[in-house]
Structure 1
Amino acid sequence: MLVERLARGVRLTEAGSALLVHADIVLAQLADAAAELDGLAGRRGGHLRFGSFPTAMSCVGPVVIETFRSRYPAVEPLFVDTEPYEALVALRSRELDLALVFSFDRWGAGRAYDGVERCSDDVVDYIDLFDDELFVLLPRAHELAQRRVVRVEQLRDERILGSGQPWAPDFCHLCASAGFEPHLDGSYRSTDFPAIQALVA
């Protein structure tokens, strides 16, 4: 829940406040890109082609689109759902002007979900916007579900849906540092996070 209703109006929840910070950061980068395009074009107008992976677009996309259009009405944005490795390829071929991507220490943005390197990370310039926290998704009835913090050691005997996920190599490294190898369930592979959430629930 992003907002909570009060007797007079509403206020942002902790999650809503965190999301607003991310949206402001993305908007600032879009504004910089628009200004640069204006300078190149020598006029106040044109198009901005922006790619982002679906999870980010579903969270901050509506806010970013509405705010960008209100602040820069002369610049027509084109927003495209694209996975990070696809975005890098599109940036390299100049099909996109700007992209929001994610990467992990052991899984670069140019690496596809099948593990194949589709585009080298060094073909584009990066600006680090923020670091996301790693959350564990548990069934409601799980004994750890009500805890605010779950230590990685507590997942030693758990079956983890995550085989083939970009975060899996970093997670395995984290588990190895804690002295165990996680049980990654390879029976279901998907990058559809709502589907994975439904399976866990």
Structure 2
Amino acid sequence: MLSLIHLKVLAVVARHESVTEAAKELHYSQSSVSHHLARLEAATGARIIQRVGRGIRLTPEGRLLAVRAAEIVGRVDAATTELAAQVGLQAGRVRLAANASALSTIVPKAAVMLAQAHPGLDLILVDRHPVEALQMLRHGEIDIALVFQHAGAPLEEEEGFRPVHITDDPIYLISRQAGDTIAGHRHSPWIGGCERCRDELTAVCRQAGFTPRIASLSDDMVVVQALVAAGIGVTTLPGLALRAHRHPGVHATELPGCQRRLHAVTYGDPPDPPAVAAVLATLTEAATERHAQVDPRQGLPARP
């Protein structure tokens, strides 16, 4: 019979690819870790690890089981947190992953509101791109993935994912000249970001009738704007990124009809645990307040 402790040991060993490092994290002896792995092999009838020199390597069967083990352990941890939060939201923990622009704008506001309404809840934040955040959600490492998608692109559809629309975020052309247009930069070098951001950039440019020549890559909103200010290229950025940081040497021109959709995604059967539901409601409220207070076109810091 598989036990939770055996699966937890396997998950930690797989993450470190080392019995020694796993023993340190678990505060076990190395012989105890090896014993748990041996019991797991006996229970499954499959060889889990191989000895390679002075180290170890997981077999294909071991890697398959390790992925499921990490997911199971993550779900049990989440269930423990949910149970603690069930009684009047007096205690609990919600783990949320989002990218830098959301973590710099909507999430801090939501965190303050949550602390005021539910001081017993802990909000744990992780900086991750959407693809990584959804993978963490699937594996039970987080409770909410705050992700964006280009308005014309479908959100990842996978059984168990449940998205809640939080807000829409306008897209801006970032250049050195006021009044620039996308079409006016068909021959310019462009600065791309992560894979999802590059897909978004390409889609926006194709609407203007051309495919951008991406000459530089950076995921950092500060770096991207510095490159534009230096004349190295042009790019597009969402409004949230510009609210988080605005370089005085760039102009931002809103692109009509171009926007991102921001979703808070949870995993598993409804309803959401009370603590998770409270965070979702607070995220929506924080996004609504931000849009009510700041017009997307006028709320950006002006260029001197």
User: TM-score if structure 1 supplies the norm length?
Assistant: 0.61
Q: CA deviation at 1:61?
A: 3.1
Tell me: CA distance 1:93–1:189, structure 2 relative to 1, closer, same or farther (3 Å).
same
Q: 1:131 aligns to what SS in structure 2? A: strand
For residues 59 and 76 of structure 1, the distance between their equivalents in structure 2, rounded to whole angstroms, comes to 19
Q: Which has the higher contact order (CA 8 A, sep 6+)?
A: 2
Tell me: CA distance 1:121–1:103, structure 2 relative to 1, closer, same or farther (3 Å).
farther
Tell me: CA distance 1:177–1:81, structure 2 relative to 1, closer, same or farther (3 Å).
closer
Name 1:194's counterpart in structure 2. Answer: 222
* Aligned with residue 205 of structure 2, among 157, 164, 175: 175
Tell me: CA distance 1:93–1:163, structure 2 relative to 1, closer, same or farther (3 Å).
closer
Counterpart amino acid of 1:128? Answer: H
Name 1:146's counterpart in structure 2. Answer: 178
Q: CA deviation at 1:107?
A: 6.4
Counterpart amino acid of 2:169? Answer: D
Q: Any unmatched runs of 5+ in structure 2?
A: 1-81, 230-304
Q: CA deviation at 1:88?
A: 0.9
Higher strand content, 1 or 2 = 2
The answer on whether the counterparts of 2:84 and 2:92 sit within 8 Å (CA) in structure 1 is: no
Q: Any unmatched runs of 5+ in structure 1?
A: 1-36, 111-119, 140-144
For residues 63 and 180 of structure 1, the distance between their equivalents in structure 2, rounded to whole angstroms, comes to 39
Q: CA deviation at 1:104?
A: 2.4
Q: CA deviation at 1:94?
A: 1.8
For residues 136 and 205 of structure 2, the distance between their equivalents in structure 1, rounded to whole angstroms, comes to 35
* Aligned with residue 172 of structure 2, among 131, 135, 145: 135
For residues 50 and 107 of structure 1, the distance between their equivalents in structure 2, rounded to whole angstroms, comes to 23
Name 2:263's counterpart in structure 1. Answer: none
Q: CA deviation at 1:163?
A: 6.5
Q: 2:214 aligns to what SS in structure 1? A: strand
Q: How many residues align?
A: 147
The answer on whether the counterparts of 1:108 and 1:121 sit within 8 Å (CA) in structure 2 is: no
Tell me: CA distance 1:122–1:108, structure 2 relative to 1, closer, same or farther (3 Å).
farther
The reply to whether residue 66 of structure 1 matches residue 112 of structure 2 is yes
Q: 1:94 aligns to what SS in structure 2? A: coil
Q: Structure 2 matches for 1:78-93, cutoff 5 A?
A: 78-93=124-139
Query: What per-residue deviation string (whole Å, max 9, x for no partner) do you get for residues 116-157 of structure 1?
Result: xxxx65541111222211111112xxxxx222xx44322222
For residues 194 and 126 of structure 2, the distance between their equivalents in structure 1, rounded to whole angstroms, comes to 24
Q: Percent identity?
A: 24
Name 2:9's counterpart in structure 1. Answer: none
The reply to whether residue 41 of structure 1 matches residue 86 of structure 2 is yes
The reply to whether residue 99 of structure 1 matches residue 136 of structure 2 is no
For residues 127 and 147 of structure 2, the distance between their equivalents in structure 1, rounded to whole angstroms, comes to 11
Q: 2:168 aligns to what SS in structure 1? A: coil
For residues 154 and 122 of structure 1, the distance between their equivalents in structure 2, rounded to whole angstroms, comes to 43
For residues 99 and 118 of structure 2, the distance between their equivalents in structure 1, rounded to whole angstroms, comes to 23
Query: What per-residue deviation string (whole Å, max 9, x for no partner) do you get for residues 46-90 of structure 1?
Result: 112222112211123332222211111122221222221121112
Greater alpha carbon shift after TM alignment, 168-177 vs 74-83? 168-177
Tell me: CA distance 1:122–1:152, structure 2 relative to 1, closer, same or farther (3 Å).
farther
Mark the structure with the bigger radius of gyration.
Answer: 2
The reply to whether residue 124 of structure 1 matches residue 161 of structure 2 is yes
User: TM-score if structure 2 supplies the norm length?
Assistant: 0.42
Tell me: CA distance 1:179–1:90, structure 2 relative to 1, closer, same or farther (3 Å).
closer
Q: Structure 2 matches for 1:155-166, cutoff 5 A?
A: 155-162=185-192, 165-166=195-196
Q: CA RMSD in A?
A: 2.8
Counterpart amino acid of 1:80? Answer: V
For residues 197 and 94 of structure 2, the distance between their equivalents in structure 1, rounded to whole angstroms, comes to 30
Q: CA deviation at 1:194?
A: 0.9
Name 2:23's counterpart in structure 1. Answer: none
Higher helix content, 1 or 2 = 2
